[in-house]
Amino acid sequence: MQTHQLVLVLDFGGQYNQLIARRVRDEGVYCEMIRGNTKAEEIRAKSPLGIILTGGPMSVYEKGAPQIDPGVFALGVPILGICYGQQLIAHVLGGKVSSAQKREYGQASVILQKSPLFQGVEGESLCWMSHTDQVRTLPDGFSPIGFTASCPIAAIADETRKIYGVQFHPEVQHSVRGKKILRNFLYQVCGLSGDWRMDSYAEELTEKLRSQIGEGSVLCALSGGVDSSVCAALLHRAVGERLSCVFVDTGLLRKNEAKEVEEQFGKRFGKSLISIDAGARFLQKLGGVSDPEQKRKIIGAEFIRVFEEAAKQLGTVDYLAQGTIYPDVIESGSGSAATIKSHHNVGGLPDVIDFKQIVEPLRDLFKDEVRRLGLELGLPQALVWRQPFPGPGLAVRVLGEITEEKLAILREADAIFREEVATAGLQTSINQYFAVLTNLRSVGVMGDARTYDYAIALRAVETLDFMTVDWSRIPFEVLASASSRIVNEVPEVNRVLYDITTKPPATIEYE
């Protein structure tokens, strides 16, 4: 049963869609993202107090383009359409959308007119545009309330029905007043009070887990990372001694990681922690495999098999729990989104599993929300702010075929880089940093001898939500020290590269 005010985000497949949900939650309002073609009656049953239509990659008039149930506009719920969402409003309600003579991509100056949506931001402002099509004529009842030099209808409003649209993207940071515009929609247009807080959400999740699991027993896949640790703490609060945490050493972990996890969580969970050394079987399964998607699927399937075997040794275990979070779901192709990469715990799962159900209590949360939840559950700061580490481990940081030799090289290089970042006091200002063993070998000179060795790539990013990131401007002296140590201390490495690519177009991880 819904216990807090709800905004629904209807997903039409755009690249920034998950950010909309994130920004809404930042304003103290709970939201859920659902498919854009969800029937109006299903939406009504959820009792939303606001609806946001997202961007999308297609033209609304194209055959096969995502469409909305027209009945949504008759629900009497305030609606905000963004980019494709604005065009969809115009298209469905009787206006016209067509290709623009001049496309708009990047920052543009927009003039915003008086409206509840733009309260406090009227006048000229910078916004982020990303569109080829434009609204040409408006449906009955609508008025233009914003324009740019090349887009005469950059924002629309039907004040009577509280239906609004903007051609630009207020959810991205490049839209200078975008946060205020979204807040206006939530509080000025929808009249919300902002009743969603992490402490109340922790209680809701706990009660939901108790209801879902009942008297059953749970096996939690514990990697020692932030997500699985918070998942385990939440489950422990919900079911107590009926929880068993299984830590699998896949042979793909960072230097000394298995030992650290066993020590830290052995103290927290005691006999509930089961540690399994499965390195040999994972490496055997991955032998000769270079394709990153195949790696992820192999690892996902093998994880399940290991957990099934552990469950049989424990006796009857009803549920498998894992720390899937919202970016995992999005990138694995949930809803209208394209598959970017299959996460081992989402798109990498086998079709048949020997558990009654998979429990994923964090799958609606972004990374920073998971951290806040962890603090709310009493986990220590050092654990909550631990460096993120992908479930497939170093398998997706060794490019190409995986071997013991390559893993040993990467472990040492990665440990050096992390040590240098920590020594420089940058570990809390950089959201994620790590080394990658590329599949590139190049000529070098060490002493008087020619070498032909591997290149290590260093990656460090800063982000609010792990869905879009910027590369971190690490001081040159820190990079120089890391590079010098790596080439001098790690055999088989003669070149160090620093990655300065944002996401998008790149992802954080290489595979």
Handedness of CA 61, 63, 64, 70 (dihedral sign): positive
Q: Is 220 a catalytic residue?
A: no
Cα–Cα distance measured from residue 16 to residue 34, given in angstroms and rounded to the nearest whole number: 15
| Spatial contact of 146 and 127, defined as CB atoms under 8 Å apart | no
Helices (H), 186-291: 198-213, 226-239, 257-269, 279-286
| Spatial contact of 208 and 361, defined as CB atoms under 8 Å apart | yes
Label residue 357 exposed, middle or buried (CB < 10 Å: 0-12, 13-18, 19+).
middle
Q: Is 245 a catalytic residue?
A: no
DSSP annotation of 455: E
Given 91, 104, 171, 231, the catalytic residue: 171
Given 131, 169, 236, 344, the catalytic residue: 169
Q: Is 171 a catalytic residue?
A: yes
| Spatial contact of 346 and 328, defined as CB atoms under 8 Å apart | yes
| Spatial contact of 407 and 399, defined as CB atoms under 8 Å apart | no
Given 31, 83, 220, 245, the catalytic residue: 83
Please list, in sequence order, all residues whose beta carbon lies within 8 angstroms of the beta carbon of residue 467, skipping any fewer than 6 positions away: 18, 19, 22, 327, 330, 366, 503
Q: Which residues of 334-345 are buried (b: 16+ CB within 10 A; e: fewer)?
A: bbbbeeebbbbb
Angle at 300 between CA 362 and CA 281, to 5 degrees: 135
Catalytic residues: 83, 169, 171
